[in-house]
Amino acid sequence: MFDVTSLGLWPVIAFFIPVLVSLVKQAGFSQQMNAIIALIVYIVTGVVYVVITAGPAGFTAESIIASVTVATLVGTASYNLFWSNLGVHAEGDASLDDKITLATSFVR
């Protein structure tokens, strides 16, 4: 059985995945489309983490599921608690997430 404690620094790295999501999502897309983009980013980063750290022997469905789950849970929590509020001083202010998304969007 896969031991989640073997994930090491992965939860700390996953804390910063919402910044990567902000770079990829587009201001002109719907919330649903941006949520799908975020999920794809979490899945890809989870798989990449397993490939880099576990090697061919550790590349199992169990390790990928654990890695993607940790990425999604930690990333979503850090987004909701930290990244979506960073830079907001008053109601109506754009968060750092919003500013990054607007700056990197080709679809507006």
pTM: 0.87
- Using an 8 Å Cβ cutoff, are 23 and 104 in contact? yes
Residue 93 domain flag: yes
**pLDDT of amino acid 68:** 95
Residue 2 domain flag: no
Average pLDDT of the segment spanning 68-90: 94
Average pLDDT of the segment spanning 76-105: 92
Domain of 62, in residue numbers: 8-103
Question: How many domains, the chain?
Answer: 1
**pLDDT of amino acid 24:** 96
Please report which confidence band the pLDDT of residue 76 belongs to, taking 50, 70 and 90 as the band edges. Answer: very high
Phi-psi region of 62 (alpha: psi -120 to 50; beta: other; left: phi over 0): alpha
Question: Does the structure show a pLDDT above 80 at 86?
Answer: yes
